[in-house]
Structure 1
Amino acid sequence: MTTISDLPDDLVKDIFSWVPFTSLRAVRSTCKTWNALSKNQIFGKKSVARNQFLELMILDSRVCSLRFDLQKIRIEDEEDLVDPSMKQISIPNIDDQVEISRVYHCDGLLLCIPKDNSGLMLWNPYLGQTKWIRPKNTFHRDDSFALGYDNNRNHKILRLNEENESHIDVYDFSSDSWRTVLDDNPYRDELIYQSGVSLKGNAYFFDREVTIEAEVGTEHLLITGIEDYLRCFDFTTERFGPRLPLPFILPSPSFEYLALSWARDDKLAVLYSHYDTFDIIEIWISTKIEPNAVSWSTFFKVDMSLINGLTDDFLIRFEPKSFFIDEEKKVAVLFDTKVTETCRYQMAYIVGDDGYFKSVNIGVISNSHWIGGELVRSSYVPSLLQLQV
């Protein structure tokens, strides 16, 4: 009698190419051969080719997978959108009661920060491997982190602490140890720590310079200028690079909101909207991105007030905390929350450069503070990197 283990290798590999990331546990438990194969090659490549975007999001202190299929939007006589599928991903060897406050991504790895600041948990979701990293000294609630690698593909962790602006801590995977590095960044106090994302091994943060002057004849201080920048932490040199320009010009010295994301694996995307023109959203993508240089091109600019059915109240409150883009479909998926009298919902808003708009209710936010979800990684690509425990 023929069994699963007797299937030809070519057929098994074709089956593997269609397996979604969230079904790995079931496949690995099928037989020892399949378990071994799954740890030597990447599943799901054909799902990626179909543009079924696999996003990772932290919601209600848990890491979730969120799959979007945008192929049917704008197609007549077709259902406009395949509803997104969200699933919580169980972390191996971790108590389900452990709450995660933030997650950082690089190269298929996730760095999870527990709310109790007990340590850092490194996780390869594809291989199902975890590793706890203990602090050199006590972690603080306001610490920020980034995950990256140097030119030799040696992975590292950056730790920034607002209480110590003259030094940074770097954890080196190869030596399994922390070291403190002198930070000569003259603008360290102006970094927006929580904005960081990793791209091509380096970490990028927003940086803001605010100019303040005293109002004549009073003791009041006035904001006379705001300039936003991008800063790169280079994991090879273990130094911050120069301030890099952002592509938009502020219409007045008033604050705006920004969000940083990815365009596949080799570009950054930045979302911008100014409080004076809150109904207009701009998204730009990098055409060149290096630690000391960047150039930009417009992805789209949308006036949300022209979209039918959107109220002024919605536009005033709309501040997407994270997003991803589909360059082929020319749409962005923006994540925000929707509040009713009884609960708060996690929402995804699909916006096109031609005025296309669709809202998708992902689910109820159940945490006591009604904190919305945050995108951890867009278009997640698994990794075969082994964690040395």
Structure 2
Amino acid sequence: MTTKSDLPGDLVEEEILSRVPFTSLRSVRSTCRKWNALSKNRIFGKAAARNQFLGFMMMNYKVCSIQFDLQGIRNRVDFVNNPSVKQVSILDHIEVSQVLHCDGLLLCVIKNNTGLLVWNPYLGQTRWIQPRQCFDMFDRYAIGYDNNRNHKILRIFGEHQTVLGYEIYDFSSSSWKVSYVTPDWSIRFYQRGVSLKGNTYFVGQTVNENMEADILLCFDFTTERFVPPLPLPYPCDDETVSLSCVRDEQLAVLYLRWEVWVTNKIDPYAVSWTKFLRHHLGFSVHIYDGSFFIDEEENVAVVFDLDDFKGDRRRYQTAHILGQDRYLKSVNIGEAQDLDKPYEPGSPTLRRLFRPLVSSSYVPSLVQLQINQPDKEKESDHY
């Protein structure tokens, strides 16, 4: 009778474990000590990941995984009838207002600005980040790394739109350092940054002759500075809604009127763009809600948004799958929290800031985090 120990190592590692879905990793790790040890030093499920999208989103201030297969999407209804969305159990105890992704790590901004949590979904590790003084509702965040692969967190502070300075948290030293600046550009508090090749890009605004124009801002985590602004495909104020990355190689931008552009070239000091697709749907993406990713093999963009209020005053989180040939399929993911209530009593202007949907194309990572919670071996139900 053949047992696991009789199987050739190459067969186990290259053929069997590479095809394990990420959602089954916890079961694999519990099979035997050897497989558990292998999973902490090698990425399992790489072959399975090539044929599916695995990301994370927020529903009612909880972090959820979302998984679906885009291959043959035009001929299948599986994703429409049964999208795989599941709440992450390891984060059950917290409410999150924002999620950011870099290098397989997720930075979770805790609701009410009480702290930051970094999570490695593949290894099941977490790390709490405490503020130097305090966090604020208008803070903007990013996560990245320098040329030595040292991971860092950026916290931009200021008012509704004004940037007054920023802080850098260094994972290796577990400390913050602060820089005060007076830039000739701004970043709106609802704009989420996107990390690409270790650096983070934001949609910002500059003022020329009393006219605002959208620009692309890059924060270089090696020099720990913002570099000179770069151009967007076209600088239309209040038109840009969201940034995304493509396989950590390209940057993509989504405009309100359902137009997506991707970069031909991108580095902190130079960028060029090409149009990926444009749809005419008769309505706009919500500027506070929209997030997206693109699949170049299938020539589609998947845009996550909140639809308009229904007759019962409920709103639903929706994924719109858009093809370059004007293909369109919309998927109801689930009902959103009652967003007609202000986030804080007396602060109705903050209603739209904390819309619960964020998407991130996830790539597993072996980056180790210092685990500072009592249950050091706890893992989520998914990994």
Bucket of the pairwise TM-score, normalised by the shorter protein: 0.7 to 0.9
Partner of residue 202 from structure 1, selected from 199, 205, 213: 199
Q: 1:238 to 1:318 in 2, by over 3 A?
A: closer
Matched with 2:267 is 290
1:266 is aligned to 2:249: yes
Q: Which amino acid aligns with 2:167?
A: D
How far does residue 80 in structure 1 lie from its aligned partner after superposition? 4.8
How many angstroms apart in 2 are the aligned matches of 1:8 and 1:35?
17
Q: Which amino acid aligns with 1:174?
A: S
How far does residue 365 in structure 1 lie from its aligned partner after superposition? 2.1
Q: 1:322 to 1:295 in 2, by over 3 A?
A: same
1:341 is aligned to 2:311: yes
How far does residue 229 in structure 1 lie from its aligned partner after superposition? 0.4
Partner of residue 239 from structure 1, selected from 197, 213, 225: 225
Matched with 1:59 is 59
Q: 1:318 to 1:18 in 2, by over 3 A?
A: same
RMSD over aligned Cα atoms: 2.4
Find the residue that maps to 1:139 and give its secondary structure: coil
Higher strand share: 1
Find the residue that maps to 2:25 and give its secondary structure: helix
Matched with 2:130 is 134
Q: Which amino acid aligns with 2:168?
A: V
Contact 2:264 2:273 in 1 (8 A): yes
How far does residue 174 in structure 1 lie from its aligned partner after superposition? 1.4
Alpha-carbon displacement from aligned partner over 1:60-116 (angstroms, at most 9, x marks no partner): 111111112111134xxx42554431122222xx5x232111111110011111113
1:166-185 matches, within 5 Å, as 166-183=164-181, 185=183
Find the residue that maps to 1:384 and give its secondary structure: coil
How many angstroms apart in 2 are the aligned matches of 1:109 and 1:175?
18
How many angstroms apart in 2 are the aligned matches of 1:317 and 1:302?
11
Matched with 2:87 is 88
Contact 2:123 2:366 in 1 (8 A): yes
Find the residue that maps to 2:293 and give its secondary structure: strand
Between the aligned residues of both structures, percent identity stands at 53
User: Could you say which structure has the greater relative contact order, defined with CA pairs below 8 angstroms and 6 or more residues apart?
Assistant: 2
Find the residue that maps to 2:279 and give its secondary structure: strand
How far does residue 349 in structure 1 lie from its aligned partner after superposition? 0.8
1:300 is aligned to 2:277: yes
Matched with 1:388 is 370
Contact 1:55 1:375 in 2 (8 A): no
Alpha-carbon displacement from aligned partner over 1:275-297 (angstroms, at most 9, x marks no partner): xxxxx422110111111211111
How many angstroms apart in 2 are the aligned matches of 1:176 and 1:372?
31
Find the residue that maps to 1:34 and give its secondary structure: helix
Matched with 1:276 is none
Contact 2:215 2:235 in 1 (8 A): no
Q: Which amino acid aligns with 1:29?
A: S
Find the residue that maps to 1:158 and give its secondary structure: strand
How far does residue 195 in structure 1 lie from its aligned partner after superposition? 2.5
Alpha-carbon displacement from aligned partner over 1:233-289 (angstroms, at most 9, x marks no partner): 111111111111111264xxx74242111122111100113xxxxxx4221101111
Matched with 1:227 is 213
1:123 is aligned to 2:96: no
Q: Which amino acid aligns with 1:329?
A: E
How many angstroms apart in 2 are the aligned matches of 1:145 and 1:210?
23
Which has the greater radius of gyration?
1
Alpha-carbon displacement from aligned partner over 1:135-163 (angstroms, at most 9, x marks no partner): 11111122121101111111111111115
How many angstroms apart in 2 are the aligned matches of 1:381 and 1:111?
14
How many angstroms apart in 2 are the aligned matches of 1:317 and 1:166?
30
Q: Which amino acid aligns with 1:8?
A: P
How far does residue 197 in structure 1 lie from its aligned partner after superposition? 1.0
Q: Which amino acid aligns with 1:115?
A: K
How many angstroms apart in 2 are the aligned matches of 1:127 and 1:30?
16
Matched with 2:68 is 68
Find the residue that maps to 1:169 and give its secondary structure: strand
Find the residue that maps to 1:333 and give its secondary structure: strand
Find the residue that maps to 1:303 and give its secondary structure: coil
Q: 1:86 to 1:54 in 2, by over 3 A?
A: same
Q: Which amino acid aligns with 1:205?
A: F
How far does residue 185 in structure 1 lie from its aligned partner after superposition? 3.1
Find the residue that maps to 1:121 and give its secondary structure: strand
Q: Which amino acid aligns with 1:177?
A: S
Q: 1:233 to 1:60 in 2, by over 3 A?
A: same
How far does residue 179 in structure 1 lie from its aligned partner after superposition? 1.1
Matched with 1:24 is 25
How many angstroms apart in 1 are the aligned matches of 2:252 and 2:234?
13
Find the residue that maps to 1:116 and give its secondary structure: helix
How far does residue 354 in structure 1 lie from its aligned partner after superposition? 1.2
Aligned residue pairs, count: 350
